[in-house]
Amino acid sequence: MDELSIKIVMLLFPGIITTIFLDKFTEHKPWGNYIYSLLIIFYGILAYFTLQLIQLFCQFLHVGIDNWKEYKVVFLDSWQFVYNVSQKNEIPYSEIMWAGVVALINAMLLCRLDKTEVLSRFLQKCGITDKYGSYSVFVLMSKKYEGNYIDALFYSKNLMYRGIIDSINEYELILRNVTLYRIEDSGNLKPISEMDHVCLACSYKDLILQSPNRPPSS
Q: What is the mean pLDDT of residues 170-190?
A: 85
The pTM assigned to this predicted structure is 0.67
pLDDT at res. 40: 94
Q: Where are the beta strands (DSSP E) in the chain?
A: 149-154, 159-168, 172-183, 189-201, 208-210
Please report how many Cα atoms fall inside a 13 Å half-sphere around the Cα of residue 86, on the Cβ side.
0
Q: Tell me the sheet residues that pair with 208.
A: 153
Tell me the average pLDDT across 103-126. 84
The Cα–Cα gap between 96 and 214 comes to 57
Nearest to 57 by CA among 39, 44, 78, 73: 73
- 26 falls in which pLDDT band (50, 70, 90)? confident
Question: pLDDT value at position 218?
Answer: 43
| 17 pLDDT higher than 90 | yes
Mean pLDDT of the chain: 81
Q: What does the pLDDT look like over 51-103, one tens digit per residue?
A: 999 988 888 777 777 666 667 777 888 877 766 655 666 778 888 899 999 99
Q: What is the pLDDT of residue 201?
A: 78
- Higher pLDDT: 154 or 136? It is 154
Q: How would residue 37 be classed by pLDDT, with cut points 50, 70 and 90?
A: very high
Q: pLDDT exceeding 70 applies to what percent of the chain?
A: 82
Q: Which residues of 117-137 are buried (b: 16+ CB within 10 A; e: fewer)?
A: beebeebeeeeeeeeebebee
pLDDT of residue 3 exceeding 80, the answer is: no
- Per the model's pLDDT, the better-predicted residue between 149 and 215 turns out to be 149
Q: Which of 174, 114, 170, 160 has the alpha carbon at shortest distance from 139? A: 170
Write down the pLDDT at residue 207.
79
